[in-house]
Amino acid sequence: MITIDFKKGGGLIPVIIQDGTTKEVLMLGYMNRESWEKTLELKKAAFWSRSRRKLWVKGETSGHFQIIREIYLDCDGDALLLQVEQVGGAACHTGFRSCFHHRYEKGTWAPTGEKVFDPKEVYRP
Among 34, 72, 85, 118, binds a copy of itself (CB under 8 A): 72
Residues whose CB is less than 8 angstroms from the CB of residue 108 and which lie 6 or more positions away in sequence, other chains included: none
Q: Under the criterion CB under 8 A, does residue 52 sit at the interface with a copy of itself?
A: no
Using CA atoms, how far apart are residues 25 and 19, in angstroms rounded to an integer?
Answer: 6
Rounded least distance, CB 109 to a copy of itself, Å: 5
Total residues found in the chain within this entry: 125
Binding status of residue 123 toward a copy of itself by CB under 8 A: no
| Minimum separation from the CB atom of position 65 to a copy of itself (A) | 19
Instruction: Report the largest interatomic distance among the alpha carbons of the chain, rounded to a whole angstrom.
Output: 47
Kindly tell me the burial class for residue 4, based on how many C-beta atoms sit within 10 Å of its own C-beta (0-12, 13-18, 19 or more). middle
Instruction: List contacts with a copy of itself (CB under 8 A).
Output: 1-3, 8, 14, 16, 18, 22-25, 27-28, 50, 70-76, 79, 81, 92-94, 96, 98-104, 108-109, 112
